[in-house]
Structure 1
Amino acid sequence: MSSSATVLSDTGHLSCIFDALDLNLSIHILSFLDVRSICKAACACRFFKSTSLQSDLWEAILSRDYLPVERHICPESAASVVTSIKSIVIKALHLHEIRFGKWDRIHQSAQSRPHPREGHAASSWGEDGMILFGGWGGGIRNDTWLLHPCHNGDDGVEYVWGKLQASGRPPAIRYGHSITRCGANKDMLLVYGGMQSGGYYHEIESPSILRSAVRGSDSEDVSIVGSSEEAEHSGKRNKSCLYEWYHPTLSGDSPGPRGYHASCASDDGRLVYLFGGIAARDSCNTLAVIDVHNETCLIPDTSGEQPSPRFGCSLACYDNKLWVVGGGCGYDLARSGHDLEDVYCLDLKSWEWCKVELTNQPSDPRCIGRCHAYQLIGSKLLMFGGSMDLGNEVSYLDLAIRSWGKPAVIGQPPNKRMSAVMVLQGTQLLVYGGWIYSHGEMGDLYRLNLQLGSPEDRALAVEVEQKNAMSPVAPPTASASEDDQEGSESRNHVVQDKLNAAMALYYRLMREGQEASETNGSIPPALLHLLHRTMSQIRVMQTLLGGEMLSNSDQEEEEDEVYHDMDEDVIYSDGLYDDDEYEDEDEADNSGDDDDDVVDGDEEEQDEDKADEQEVVEVGLHEENGDEKLIFNS
């Protein structure tokens, strides 16, 4: 303390002038500071140090800055784990900063688990669970799975899947739908939209809600179906039908059928916003607002510069505004349109759109391309994967200051992909599934820990952070040198990335050929030659990988089932979904849906004299709803 802040006491000792302050007044003074400034003040003055030990101070800071994440940091039933409000605030501070991260692949129980999939939807649930519904994987699905950690003796915490049992009629099979946690107590899940047929056909517009059958919190025991070993380790009572499916009839406007749209809930959980998506074989930019309490829907009249039609974008509600980030245009995931990199926000008071001017650009634009995974944490919209070229970058857009940033991440990341799901649980993010060109649907589970525990991890993350600050990371490309990799696993990872890039190029060339055929009636020979050369490169890289399509695969039997024979079927004739080779016990769940069949494309050769070229590219006519359309098959 400076001399001006000290006085000479009657005993001749120096004392702090703040000692005379009332404790409540000092709490009020410190409550205007941020967390780090409070800690600095506590180090400089013993009176402020004693004030910093008061729970009233930290409750004020928690309410002011971090209350929305309290349920993620410290659920009520886990209060004994976090011993003070101060520790909750510190955890929330680390979570909101998103400064570091560490990837880990999670071992999943092999006894019961979902089929690998994309186009699925997931949400956090309860204290530490994740609910997953539907998607495309071995067919179009309507199964509901619950993922939760269970203590398994000396093996630590193992994540276990179980099928969620709920009364009532489940929603129809679908992919490309949304699932949104909503309600005043965040105790409901709203499932909306999606497609029921392959090729991005038969969009759905009826909503479905998963809610507690016996009214209570979502942290009650959940009924799951699994092995006896799972039941033993789960520590949950296996009551029957604690949950129910409910299908409300909305009054007011129709939200409109759509798939691969974005959704989010309002801060109070009463409203669910839907934006964009694929509808009627094109992308759209329709905004719908569903009131889950009154069961009404509104298509608001908006003004200003609204976002262009898109699907697979981010949607977040922050600061009484609705934010739309990135996505892509077109009518399917990989064969039409292009990725978008713009950001828009809608003032929820005036219903006026505006395009957001950002202070910088993301380190890798692929993080905001079509079908990226996203999660709002405080003011930061965190994104992973996505784009037609596929990515596995972790970046965030800070909506408060309208600036891009990225955490210093250590550990082996997931393979580059699109259409994964990402859910926040505590101080970690769970990433599941998705789609990549060389493999199809994915069934792996990863954890991104945003709060590093060990000093070694923190030191390594700080080193990565310093390197990123000294030399900004350029977007990764398929031409990264293999000399920078060590070990066969790292080399396989590089080859895998190059294979994905080559297949992404093949898709782009295919789109160019289709456009040229529709415009000029023929495909340029140079384009056919480039298609031939690209396919040759793809086959060489497949040979190098030697059947081990994923370098970080567990070689689990169920994931092996979804390896695609790329020599026979690199490009599917009807989108990404004409795939008949998967069968499992869940097919019986879909047998009762007469209108939910996959649309298979019919193919015919265009020119029998081009047998040599057909080994690489088969140009045919695909009939869709009476219209002939050019398609390519390898």
Structure 2
Amino acid sequence: MSSEKEGGRKRKQSGIQSSQHKKTEPCPMAESSTTSSNNGSSPITRIPQDHLFSILLLLPVESILSFAMTCKKLKSLAYSDSLWESICKRDWGQTPVDSIKGSNHLQQLPWKRLYQQVYQLDSVFCRRLLVESPDGDGILPSPRASHSLNLVSGFLVLFGGGCEGGRHLDDTWIAYIGNNFRTTLKWQKINSGIPSGRFGHSCVVIGDSLVLFGGINDLGIRQNDTWIGQVTVHEKLGITFSWRLLDIGPIASSPPPRGAHAGCCIENKRMLIHGGIGLSGVRLGDTWVLNLSEDLYLGTWREITAQPSPPPRSGHSLTHIGGSQTILFGGRGTGFEVLNDVWILDASEGRWRWSQLLFEIRNVPQGFSLPRVGHSASLIIGRRLLIYGGEDSYRNRKDDFWVLDISSMSCLKMQGRSVNENRTYRRMWRKLESKGEKLNCRSFHGACVDDSGRYLYVYGGMVDGLVQPADPSGLRFDGESFLLELVMQS
């Protein structure tokens, strides 16, 4: 019996020593007895580095980090700056990467660290922009709300909106931004009267043009016309901007008239709209897509029908997040309640599908309220939404910033799983700290992000004002401009 025990102990010790020996080999993850005995290396380490580089770019970040843990040689490749620059291009696009390269305080940082900081974003820095007219005549855009603000071909374009007394505006203004942010805006008035005055319209950028749809005038008349706006830079005439009515065929094939709806550009070639306030003040819940000819002279509207779908609403946001996905958030429902639900519209596989994205409200910091209407939702670097401002059901305006992080959905797509599953996303929301100048609480403002996804321009909106006899609500329309920079620590 004792000899059997002794033999068992020896076999066990031999097994432990053998296991310990294997752990010291260079690459245990792909080891085979044949190759190890021949040259002591793993087959995967003999794959050319450029091939490994290409393979890693096909993997999600979590898999790349796991790959780096296998051995020193592969860790060196998986942590290389060139690989992480390519990962940033893959996940953010070329323009944000070029913007970071041109930033003095960011260009010296390793790309892996920059990638981490983008997804750990915790604050924005706000500065008030100075405004002036190019001719020095002091004529500037008047305070307004429910207008449109877009950045196209390097120009901020401001159109329409509502102002004091419930009146509409019909003026178009442009200010050159270029590739770099500026601390002073030089507004130039282009024209008035075309399109007709309105507020609560939608206006999106498609290529180097704007597409505008709908809106409400000061008589309460809802519109359903579609316009194309284009910036032209002439060598002799200078900068011009023109609007023209888009030919969309029979009027019966257009979406019903509406205002306070939401719109966005999808795939850089089509316009998508949803909801709004229709005739007789009825809130709508329909979705339409506008297909355009290459020369932008013809367009065809088509209604998208899918069940389930978001309930009717107005004053919500609709933001395309790349690929086939678009996010809808918030707004005011049919019972005048203010909403905080999140829906995703997926157009993959040749069909349109709406799905509600559930989140755990307990993960929202106490004391902060998510439901809002009249907010802005902008796609920022890292394929996330920056939610700013808006108002709650008591018309209390907000000055808070939130990131709606949809990276978890991206992981599901990369894993071949559908985002339509009945899932609860725990970490969808994160509140950002506001640094720099204090912004007034506001709603129904205009906001647009630059091509890099790092700078957000904000203009106007309804803000809290001093209560005056002529204005018992204490509301006032704002005419200030702000630049918000996403703060990435150096």
TM-score, normalization: structure 2? Answer: 0.70
Q: Secondary structure at the match of 1:263?
A: strand
Deviations 1:334-367 (A, max 9, x none): xx82212223334434334343322446447754
Q: Structure 1: how far apart are the matches of 2:293 and 2:386?
A: 29
Q: Structure 1: how far apart are the matches of 2:240 and 2:195?
A: 17
Q: Structure 2: how far apart are the matches of 1:366 and 1:130?
A: 31
Match in the other structure for 1:464: none
Number of residue pairs aligned between Structure 1 and Structure 2: 404
Match in the other structure for 1:448: 484
Query: 1:373 aligned to 2:398?
Result: no
Match in the other structure for 2:5: none
% identical aligned pairs: 21
Alignment partner for residue 401 of structure 2, among 394, 399, 411?
Answer: 394
Amino acid at match of 2:49: L
Q: Structure 1: how far apart are the matches of 2:305 and 2:231?
A: 35
Match in the other structure for 1:543: none
* Counterpart contact for 2:211–2:227, Cα < 8 Å: yes
Q: Structure 2: how far apart are the matches of 1:298 and 1:305?
A: 21
Q: Secondary structure at the match of 2:259?
A: coil
Q: Secondary structure at the match of 2:487?
A: coil
Q: Structure 1: how far apart are the matches of 2:68 and 2:371?
A: 40
Query: 1:313 aligned to 2:316?
Result: yes
Q: Structure 2: how far apart are the matches of 1:92 and 1:191?
A: 35
| C-alpha distance 408-275 of structure 1, shift in aligned 2 (>3 A) | closer
Q: Secondary structure at the match of 1:24?
A: helix
Q: Secondary structure at the match of 1:65?
A: helix
Query: 1:188 aligned to 2:205?
Result: no
| C-alpha distance 64-6 of structure 1, shift in aligned 2 (>3 A) | closer
Match in the other structure for 2:351: 350
Q: Structure 2: how far apart are the matches of 1:246 and 1:98?
A: 44
* Counterpart contact for 1:367–1:385, Cα < 8 Å: no
Match in the other structure for 1:206: 225
| C-alpha distance 94-135 of structure 1, shift in aligned 2 (>3 A) | farther
Match in the other structure for 2:16: none
Deviations 1:403-442 (A, max 9, x none): 4322441425422221112221231222221103534101
Query: 1:250 aligned to 2:242?
Result: no
Q: Structure 2: how far apart are the matches of 1:346 and 1:131?
A: 28
Q: Secondary structure at the match of 2:442?
A: coil
Q: Structure 1: how far apart are the matches of 2:116 and 2:175?
A: 27
| Alpha-carbon distance, 1:164 to partner | 5.6
| Alpha-carbon distance, 1:98 to partner | 5.7
What is the Cα-based RMSD across aligned positions, in Å? Answer: 4.0
Q: Structure 2: how far apart are the matches of 1:187 and 1:308?
A: 33
Q: Structure 1: how far apart are the matches of 2:384 and 2:182?
A: 29
| C-alpha distance 105-290 of structure 1, shift in aligned 2 (>3 A) | same
| Alpha-carbon distance, 1:316 to partner | 2.5
Query: 1:284 aligned to 2:288?
Result: no
| C-alpha distance 43-211 of structure 1, shift in aligned 2 (>3 A) | farther
* Counterpart contact for 1:58–1:85, Cα < 8 Å: no
Q: Structure 2: how far apart are the matches of 1:424 and 1:98?
A: 19
* Counterpart contact for 1:344–1:356, Cα < 8 Å: yes
Deviates most, 137-146 or 439-448: 137-146
| C-alpha distance 71-145 of structure 1, shift in aligned 2 (>3 A) | farther
Alignment partner for residue 124 of structure 2, among 82, 94, 102?
Answer: 102
Amino acid at match of 1:74: D
Match in the other structure for 1:409: 433
Alignment partner for residue 140 of structure 1, among 168, 174, 178?
Answer: 168
Unaligned 5+ segments in structure 1 are 8-14, 214-221, 224-236, 331-335, 455-634
Q: Secondary structure at the match of 2:169?
A: strand
Match in the other structure for 1:22: 48
Q: Structure 2: how far apart are the matches of 1:107 and 1:301?
A: 40
Q: Structure 2: how far apart are the matches of 1:285 and 1:6?
A: 57
Q: Structure 2: how far apart are the matches of 1:27 and 1:239?
A: 50
Q: Structure 1: how far apart are the matches of 2:24 and 2:73?
A: 15
| Alpha-carbon distance, 1:104 to partner | 2.0
Match in the other structure for 1:117: 144
Q: Structure 2: how far apart are the matches of 1:315 and 1:28?
A: 35
